[in-house]
Structure 1
Amino acid sequence: MITTRNIAERLELSVSTVGRALADDPRISERTKLRVRKAAAEMGYVADRAARMMRGAPSNVVGLVIPDIRNGFYSTIAHELSRTLESRGHQLILSETDDDRMRELRHLTELSASRVAGVLIVPTARPHRESVRLLTPLAHAQLLRRHPALGAQWFGIDDHQVLKESTSHLVAQGHTRIGYVGGAAELPTGSERLRGFRSALKDAGLPEEAGLATLGKPSSVTYGRRAVRLLLDATVPPTALVTGSVQLTLAVLEELESLGVDVPRELSVVGFGDEPGFSWWGPGLTTVRLPVTDMAADCALWLLHRLTTKPLDDTAYTSVLPGSLIVRGSTAPPRATPRRSR
């Protein structure tokens, strides 16, 4: 491993001069800095960041803690965060919790021990109290989900508005029995989306039983497919379905395809998120387009601002962005003869 001593011996300089040149110390001439950097590059020198941090140099690493990287929603967030942070000299590292609070705690413990510059987190439903303690001294913000114990910095989507708009579109088409496949209500996003679904029915003057809601793990394809079968097997099945997560939307579409359900003739469907394949699935999926990229960019810029603010600015900050309904071919008025259960 090449060290600063090796570079110093090659250039016949002191080790301290080489170290200061690599740290861009103003006491070292530009000519010497150039010589040192050129030699370091030629010799394959890699800085020992841990040692630099022990001498007081700040970390340039930011941790991202999310439930499931397989979800296109989260991978888009990770990509935009990485792109924005990298443009300012910071590096993003990823941790995946699978919505397990103990895995979340283990990841946060390692990030804290590594002395990261900050953490961006999509928290589990009930973060461990030790997770709260670990995050408190760090520059951090919550994404999508908000837990009151984790601070007042939150970047999210108007989940209530998104599901209310989706459901209202189906009501406007004439549907009076609508199924909802969504995430568990113990998650803040799940409860707000369920509230939006029910608000649309209430505002339309429909009875509570007009909505058939099934709730489960938002990233579980197995749950999503089972929920579709459960709804379609009801004594009086729904004439339309609305979904409350990207992964559940994919599961619903897969199950409807396997069952041979004619969309929208037999069943209208409104999805969540606008994945690349949604526009050409079947007749084209009516869905809610989410401002994921804008939300992630805003969050990254906020964190970069906070990292450069001395002292750190602890002012509460909340950013809530709306979604937009994209109408395609998967929704239509219900047919005169209701679809029978399977």
Structure 2
Amino acid sequence: MTIKKLAAILGLSHTTVSRALNDHPAISQATKNSVLQAAREYGYIPNSAARALRNASTGAFGLVIPDIQNDFFITITNAIAHQAAEQGWQMMLAITGDKPEMEHTVLRRLMTARVDGIIFAPTASPLDESRELLLRTNAVQLLRRHDSLPAPVIAIDDRYGIHLAVQHLRGLGHSRIGYIGSSLALSTGAERLQGFLQGFSAEEQAALEDVIAMGPPQAAFGGEAFARIMGSANPPSALVLGSPRYAMSILLAAKAQNIRIPDDLSLVAYGDVSWGSLLDVKLTTITLPETEIASACVAIIRQWMSAETPVTPEAFYAATQSHIFTPQLVPGGSTSAFTPRR
């Protein structure tokens, strides 16, 4: 069904039907109602591509994330999608798998679809071609940042968050504290490690080298790193997890090794996990401001959608500030005061 066919059925001009569908003030409400009713009956669907050529906004935006297994990204995606649906916006979700080539592919496809803007979590090493694409569109970096990219950032003060975990454990008397974090190639991994190290003197840092493990933000790595750290000659009395992806594998590994939490090992996790309520012991966590982050993303999207004329990337980047949110530590039952091993 096209506008021309709909116009022929109604005995109206093509222009009148088009204006009625777009709520033009020159068309009477009675005519609008009859056109909308016929459009529903005959299954007319507006051509969004054609409409995009006429209007400043397509009503669509891209959300590009590494995967849909990370609890943080799942929560953010659901929150943005829900608000987008309420506003009548179209969200196009793309997954990169943390691969630069896939990142370039999805960015190019989104731009081909004429989205008004893109919110994305960059990979560790974006291709030059991706950087060139981002110079031609409005984009925002989510959670992660890459200094070579021009886009502003909506992120968390990762360094402060991990430092809160160290302060909490040191306040409980722990001094030999281990850390499992994501790759230093990611901005989040580098910032969180710095937050951990700043809680110790240079001498203390040197003594902790054997209980610090860095790797990909994947569950399997968490379990492997845990086994290595706890199998050392002098295992830590407490452990900080730099990614929520590690929590499940580490808890399973601890159970397999008969390591009791918090009796044998105090544990602080970075970020909430959706299955946390199923545990016998509530995790001590660094809680991330997911609602505030989602709201900041929606505010950016609204800026794109409400523009009467297209906003150039240069103007957007010059006028848009980064937002860095502060996490909080929420004590739970997975941490307790240090007691010397017998």
Q: Pick the TM interval, shorter chain.
A: over 0.9
| CA distance in structure 1 between the aligned counterparts of 2:204 and 2:215, rounded to whole angstroms | 24
For residues 173-322 of structure 1, the aligned pairs below 5 Å read: 173-202=172-201, 206-210=204-208, 212-218=211-217, 220-309=218-307, 310=309, 312=311, 313=316, 314-322=318-326
Aligned to 1:80, the other structure's residue is in SS state: helix
Shift of 1:96: 0.7
Shift of 1:303: 2.8
Equivalent residues of 1:85, 1:304 under 8 A apart: no
Equivalent residues of 1:171, 1:201 under 8 A apart: no
Q: Which amino acid aligns with 1:248?
A: Y
Aligned to 2:299, the other structure's residue is in SS state: helix
Shift of 1:292: 1.1
Q: Give CA deviations for 1:212-233 in whole Å, capped at 9, x if unaligned.
A: 2101111x11111100001011
Matched, 1:146 2:150: no
C-alpha RMSD over aligned residues:
1.9
Matched with 2:329 is 325
Shift of 1:111: 0.3
Matched with 2:11 is 12
| CA distance in structure 2 between the aligned counterparts of 1:335 and 1:39, rounded to whole angstroms | 76
Equivalent residues of 2:71, 2:272 under 8 A apart: no
Shift of 1:81: 1.2
* Equivalences, count: 335
| CA distance in structure 2 between the aligned counterparts of 1:166 and 1:4, rounded to whole angstroms | 61
| CA distance in structure 1 between the aligned counterparts of 2:73 and 2:151, rounded to whole angstroms | 21
Shift of 1:259: 2.4
Shift of 1:328: 1.2
Aligned to 1:150, the other structure's residue is in SS state: coil
Q: Give CA deviations for 1:6-44 in whole Å, capped at 9, x if unaligned.
A: 211221112222122212233322222221111101111
Q: Give CA deviations for 1:72-128 in whole Å, capped at 9, x if unaligned.
A: 110111111122233332121111111101011110111011111110001001111
Matched, 1:60 2:64: no
Equivalent residues of 1:263, 1:282 under 8 A apart: no
Matched with 1:70 is 69
Q: Which amino acid aligns with 2:296?
A: D
Equivalent residues of 2:288, 2:328 under 8 A apart: yes
Q: Give CA deviations for 1:229-265 in whole Å, capped at 9, x if unaligned.
A: 0101111111111101111122222221232211111
Shift of 1:206: 3.5
- Please report the TM-score for the alignment, with normalisation by the length of structure 1: 0.92
% same residue: 35
| CA distance in structure 2 between the aligned counterparts of 1:330 and 1:56, rounded to whole angstroms | 54
| CA distance in structure 2 between the aligned counterparts of 1:308 and 1:46, rounded to whole angstroms | 23
| CA distance in structure 2 between the aligned counterparts of 1:316 and 1:298, rounded to whole angstroms | 12
Shift of 1:287: 1.0
Matched with 1:116 is 115
| CA distance in structure 2 between the aligned counterparts of 1:95 and 1:207, rounded to whole angstroms | 40
Q: Which amino acid aligns with 2:189?
A: G
Aligned to 2:49, the other structure's residue is in SS state: helix
Shift of 1:57: 5.8
Shift of 1:329: 1.2
Match of 1:335 among 326, 334, 339: 339
Equivalent residues of 1:139, 1:307 under 8 A apart: no
| CA distance in structure 1 between the aligned counterparts of 2:289 and 2:141, rounded to whole angstroms | 16
- Structure 2 unaligned residues grouped into runs of 5+: none
Q: Which amino acid aligns with 1:77?
A: I
Aligned to 2:269, the other structure's residue is in SS state: strand
Q: Give CA deviations for 1:254-299 in whole Å, capped at 9, x if unaligned.
A: 2212322111111111111122332452322111111012111112
- Please report the TM-score for the alignment, with normalisation by the length of structure 2: 0.92
Equivalent residues of 1:8, 1:14 under 8 A apart: yes
Aligned to 1:266, the other structure's residue is in SS state: coil
Matched with 2:38 is 39
Equivalent residues of 2:57, 2:304 under 8 A apart: no
Equivalent residues of 2:61, 2:301 under 8 A apart: no
| CA distance in structure 2 between the aligned counterparts of 1:207 and 1:58, rounded to whole angstroms | 52
Aligned to 1:87, the other structure's residue is in SS state: helix
Matched with 2:171 is 172
Shift of 1:61: 1.0
| CA distance in structure 2 between the aligned counterparts of 1:90 and 1:289, rounded to whole angstroms | 29
Matched with 2:130 is 131
Shift of 1:207: 4.5
Q: Which amino acid aligns with 2:235?
A: P
